[in-house]
Amino acid sequence: MRTLALVVLLGGSLTAAADGLLKVGDPFPSWTLTDQTGAKVSSKELAGKRYLLWFYPKAMTPGCTAEGQGLRDRADVFAKRGVTILGVSFDTPADNARFVAAERFPFRLLSDSDRTLAVAVGAADSTGTPVARRISYLVAPDGHVEKVYGTVNPSTHASDVLADIPAS
C-alpha cells in the first residue's frame, strides 16, 4: 500500500525504498508547509538551491534540541556552502516558534501537521503517526535527492551532513 500511495501522490515517478525512504537521484516531491511565523514555505521557492530538510520528532525534546543546536552552531558553514537548513515536524507553528526562540535557531522550522510530506518521504508510516521519524534529505538545486540520512545521530548530524557537502 505504501508504494501505491507514493505513486499516486508523486505522479508515478517514484518507488519507495524498502524502508520507505526516497533514494539518491529520486525527484523530491513538491511541498508547501507553514513555518514558525505562519508564513508559507515551498519547494518551488527553493528551486535552484540546495537545502537540507531535517525531520525531527518533537520540538524541545532532548534529541531534537541537540540536533537543532548542532545545525544552529554550524549554520554559517552551511550558508557558506550554499545550503538552506529547514526543520520539519508535526508540531504546530506556535510550538516551533517557541523552539526557535528558546534555541535561537537561525533557520525556519516547518509544520507538516497533516503528515503528507512525511508519509511521502518515509518520515512517517501513515497520517496517524504521532511523531516524525528522525531522518534528513539533502536536496540538490535541481530538486533531486542528493543524500539520504535514514539513520541520524542528533549529536553528529550537522558534521555528518557537512562532510557530504563540498567546501566552496
Beta strand 136-139 with 145-149: parallel, antiparallel or unpaired? antiparallel
pLDDT at 15 > cutoff 90: no
Query: What is the pTM assigned to this prediction?
Result: 0.87
Q: Give me the CATH topology for the region 17-163.
A: Glutaredoxin (3.40.30)
Mutual orientation of helices 93-103 and 62-73 as an angle, nearest 10°?
60
Q: Give domain limits for the chain.
A: 17-163
Which tens digit of pLDDT belongs to each residue from 18-41?
Answer: 468 999 999 999 999 999 999 999
Which one is predicted more confidently, 95 or 2?
A: 95
Catalytic residues: 64
Which tens digit of pLDDT belongs to each residue from 104-140?
Answer: 999 999 999 999 999 999 999 999 999 999 999 999 9
Sign of CA dihedral 36, 37, 41, 45: negative
- Give the mean model confidence (pLDDT) for residues 72-80: 97
Helices and strands, number each (H, E), in the chain: 6, 7
